[in-house]
Amino acid sequence: MENKSHSSNPSESVEKTAQSEKAIASKLDTIGWGAFFIWIGIAFLLDLGFGVGLLGVGAITLLEQAARVYYKIKLEMFWLVAGLVFLLGGLWDMFEPDLPFLPILLIIAGLVMLGTVLIKRN
């Protein structure tokens, strides 16, 4: 007797894979937000400071994106960049360089935007 439990329809397989990816992505988002709130609570409770708080938020954000890559789910570029900015902001605050962070960040963002337009144009 033939086993009919396995579908031979490729579109059903693709649909199941998409549903599975969506479920994993949803769980990763929930884990990320849960870790964020726990970290912020710890940082406030222990008065760790703004820089250490930002470092933790950056690490959580980047770890979630790394998990997405591990599970072969589409990387969210916004959160990847945000995580890097949080890490950089935390390090900036901790080492207190003479240069202000926000103006430097805005200049870099503007240069990246202009660069992408010029690269796409050619």
The pLDDT tens digits of the residues spanning 54-87 come to: 999 999 999 999 999 999 999 999 999 999 999 9
Strand blocks (E) in the chain: none
Percent of the chain with pLDDT over 90: 57
**78 found inside a domain:** yes
Share the mean pLDDT of the chain. Answer: 87
Assign 54 to helix, strand or coil. helix
**Token pair listed for 99:** 């240069």
**116 found inside a domain:** no
**108 found inside a domain:** no
Mean pLDDT across the stretch 106-112? 87
Q: What is the distance between the alpha carbons of residues 105 and 84, in angstroms, rounded to a whole number? A: 11
Q: What is the distance between the alpha carbons of residues 12 and 8, in angstroms, rounded to a whole number? A: 8
Domain that holds residue 74: 12-96
The pLDDT tens digits of the residues spanning 39-53 come to: 999 999 999 999 999
The count of residues in the chain is 122
**60 found inside a domain:** yes
> Into how many domains does the chain fold?
1
User: What was the pLDDT predicted at 6?
Assistant: 52
Q: What is the distance between the alpha carbons of residues 53 and 62, in angstroms, rounded to a whole number? A: 14
User: What was the pLDDT predicted at 11?
Assistant: 67
What does pTM read for this prediction?
Answer: 0.74
